[in-house]
Structure 1
Amino acid sequence: MEVAWDASIEELQTIEGIGPKLSQIIHHQRQAIVPDHLLDGYLEANPSFITPADPEYPNRLWEIADPPVLLHYQGDLELLKTIDQATTVALVGTRKPSDYGQRWTRRLSRSLSQHGWTIVSGLAAGIDAQAHQSCLEVQGATIGVLGTGIDVVYPRSNQKLYDQMAQVGLILSEYPAGTAPNRTHFPERNRIVAGLCRATLVMEAGHKSGALITARLANEYGRDVYALAGSLDNPEAAGSLNLIHQGAQIITGEARLLESLGTIPTLDQLDLFDGVIGSAVTPSQPMIQLPPELHNIWQTIANSPEPVILDHIVEGTGLPTGNVLSGLLELELMGVVEQQAGMRYQTAS
């Protein structure tokens, strides 16, 4: 860092993308900045934040392509522990939900909270607010990720909810205090929501809803994606229905959803597999009983003498890419599959 700060104009120009004009601007503006004063001012305005160097930083965010460099926070930082225990689920959707969308968001948020899941959303109007509020009503744990500075409430109508979450929940933002709403920040915020969670539930979303960005990112990260089927007459459900068409798992009720999520092992439950975790797994048969889809994925990997790339697993199983990615993550957590460099997979040794 010190070397970069002290670099001459000529040295700056050796960096790709920095030409003579930009190097002159950097050199000129750098002279007016005192780094220690700049840092002191930042710390005064932003006293509470963590970085990837801190033990509280969620390991799960290291699994995404662009983890946030800073996470400013208000509230109970202990809630971050639930993230690496894989008991976090995102509930996201439109800012203008129907009565049906609101009702099911409330039901699922309460039910998941009462079964130990931490509810994550973006503290926006509509589905997000319903998810957070319903969780708080049953004394559940909830995390809000902002697209503004940690001290900026948007929309203002969520002030009371924000105050509640700052006291008994957790609010996160990668943006410094005072950062106003910006349309580019909310899609960026969505990658953190998806990255923090083992599963993302799209409760109701139109064709252009930001919730679809969260779902797409969750799928890319190998996390489970669920969608609530809505009415064909409701434009705010069109995006959700399209997700189901593309392979998202359909939400058919509380019990079925909890059962499905229950098949995702949490890090503190891995010892439930009768001592199999950490023991040898032979190429002919895993030592735990796998559901058919997971066994299909495992068998495709086990049949190869070399680590298998993702495309070959998809081809060999005939399953959608999203199903293969989520299945691979489950198999890794069970300890029967290992990921190698370049997204290649082999059976655990």
Structure 2
Amino acid sequence: MDERAYWVAWVQVRGVGSILLRRLDDRFGSLEAAWHAPAGELYSIEGLGKQKVADIVESRSKLDPASLFEKHLEQNPHFWTLRDGDYPRLLKEIPNPPPILYYRGVPDANENRGVTPTVAIVGTRHPTDYGRRWTRRLSRALTQRGFTVVSGLAAGIDSEAHTACLDAGGRTIAVFGTGVDVVYPHQNRSLYQRVLQSGLAVSEYPAGTQPDRQHFPQRNRIIAGLSRATLVTEAPHKSGALITAYVANDFCRDVYAVPGSLDNANSRGCLGLLSRGANLVLDERHLLEMLGNMPQMDVTVAPPKVPEPIPAPVPVAKPKPKLPPNLDRVLAAISGEPTALDVIVEQSGLDASIVLSSLSQLELLDLVSNLPGMRYQRL
């Protein structure tokens, strides 16, 4: 049976995200072998305690990967798993890539390998003429220089970036917070069709997934993850585009911002990014010069790693590590039940950027689990 059937089955298991899936894949050599592994052997995986192993055993008893996969393919014929060679390399490098990435349109092998450079352009849904004009100018300049433009197909800056790229004859990637068959906002249907003709629409959500406000902050990490750099052209102080910039910074990717007037509320987000060290964009030539100074990616394909058998250790409860104050506050805001990001921000009293960075670190420490819908659960 297709190994991808087991990826589809595993993502149905509550609390199992990309980090655990990678560990299962490495430990057992495939997710098929992991699916059939005895419960006792699952304890050898870091992050799998008594409750989570019980959840896995219960889910396996209720799911048939073969029939689930057959039904899944009817609505989702095109997708990559983290195991697939065509999975976008840049996205695979982030701490929490989607285990499954659905797509529609025209894939490009060089783009996926990181040979073709990609830049995200994001910003407010309610731009001024200034924001629209500079978004078009910079998107067009990047396209003419051979960059692929990545954005979220939202109203405003996203739409301007996609449109200018397509008008210049370039490729663009639209990242959805819905299924790739659900266009949001509805008025962007014609732009969506243009994207599919020469570019790509991608999402971590299966076909038919409707808009949910909790999906869009989660979508922003994919925009940042697919891109060598993120450019914010116009954004107010509380714009969702700033989440993309903060996450890109956490991924050690370059962040650029277009300056604006102090009198313009739509410029406050960009000015804030610049005060935090984002690269100032003066014009098209200046942006291209800065991007040209980024180191080239090594596209040498490494030989496949052959997993070595690992003896299953006796599960031992690990003491909670001593955490920095910010991580401790964020962890204290998360209960044993799934907790939404906005609740964590409110409970911790910290800025969203600090919370997002702290959550990534806590997930790597196996103290929290990243659930669908930008929700987190304490382990």
Name the TM-score, length of structure 1 as normaliser.
0.70
Q: Distance in 2 between matches of 1:172 and 1:85?
A: 19
Tell me, yes or no, if the aligned pair for 1:92 and 1:128 is still in contact at 8 Å: yes
User: How far does residue 237 in structure 1 lie from its aligned partner after superposition?
Assistant: 1.5
Q: Distance in 1 between matches of 2:251 and 2:81?
A: 21
- Given candidates 179, 184, 196, the residue that maps to 1:149 is 179
> Structure 1 residues 79, 55: closer, same or farther in 2, change over 3 A?
closer
Q: Partner letter of residue 157 of structure 2?
A: I
Q: Partner letter of residue 176 of structure 1?
A: P
Tell me, yes or no, if the aligned pair for 1:56 and 1:80 is still in contact at 8 Å: no
Q: Quote the sequence identity (%).
A: 53
Query: Deviation digits for residues 130-161 of structure 1, max 9, x if unmatched?
Result: 00001000101111111110100000011000
- Given candidates 66, 74, 95, the residue that maps to 1:65 is 95
Which 4+ residue blocks in structure 1 deviate beyond 4 angstroms? Answer: 1-15, 22-26, 29-32
- Given candidates 143, 153, 167, the residue that maps to 1:113 is 143
Tell me, yes or no, if the aligned pair for 1:9 and 1:24 is still in contact at 8 Å: no
Unaligned runs of at least 5 residues, structure 1: 271-349
SS at match of 1:144: strand
> Structure 1 residues 153, 25: closer, same or farther in 2, change over 3 A?
same
Unaligned runs of at least 5 residues, structure 2: 1-30, 301-379
Q: Does 1:91 align with 2:124?
A: no
| 1:9-88 correspondence runs (5 A) | 16=49, 18=51, 23=54, 27=58, 32-78=62-108, 81=111, 84-85=114-115, 87-88=117-118
Tell me, yes or no, if the aligned pair for 2:86 and 2:112 is still in contact at 8 Å: no
Give the corresponding residue for 1:224.
254
Q: Distance in 2 between matches of 1:24 and 1:101?
A: 49
> Structure 1 residues 242, 31: closer, same or farther in 2, change over 3 A?
same
Q: Does 1:127 align with 2:157?
A: yes
Q: Partner letter of residue 192 of structure 1?
A: I
Q: Does 1:246 align with 2:276?
A: yes
Tell me, yes or no, if the aligned pair for 2:87 and 2:112 is still in contact at 8 Å: no
Give the total of aligned pairs.
Answer: 267
Deviation larger for 159-168 or 4-13: 4-13
Q: Distance in 2 between matches of 1:31 and 1:61?
A: 32
Give the corresponding residue for 1:202.
232
User: How far does residue 264 in structure 1 lie from its aligned partner after superposition?
Assistant: 1.7
Q: Distance in 2 between matches of 1:267 and 1:35?
A: 37
Tell me, yes or no, if the aligned pair for 1:122 and 1:145 is still in contact at 8 Å: yes
Q: Distance in 2 between matches of 1:8 and 1:59?
A: 32
Give the corresponding residue for 2:170.
140
Q: Does 1:233 align with 2:266?
A: no
Tell me, yes or no, if the aligned pair for 1:89 and 1:201 is still in contact at 8 Å: yes
> Structure 1 residues 229, 3: closer, same or farther in 2, change over 3 A?
same
Q: Does 1:260 align with 2:290?
A: yes
Tell me, yes or no, if the aligned pair for 1:121 and 1:144 is still in contact at 8 Å: yes
Give the corresponding residue for 1:277.
none
User: How far does residue 34 in structure 1 lie from its aligned partner after superposition?
Assistant: 3.1
SS at match of 1:77: coil
| 1:168-183 correspondence runs (5 A) | 168-183=198-213
Q: Partner letter of residue 112 of structure 1?
A: L
Q: Distance in 1 between matches of 2:100 and 2:42?
A: 26
User: How far does residue 94 in structure 1 lie from its aligned partner after superposition?
Assistant: 0.6
> Structure 1 residues 267, 8: closer, same or farther in 2, change over 3 A?
closer
Name the TM-score, length of structure 2 as normaliser.
0.64
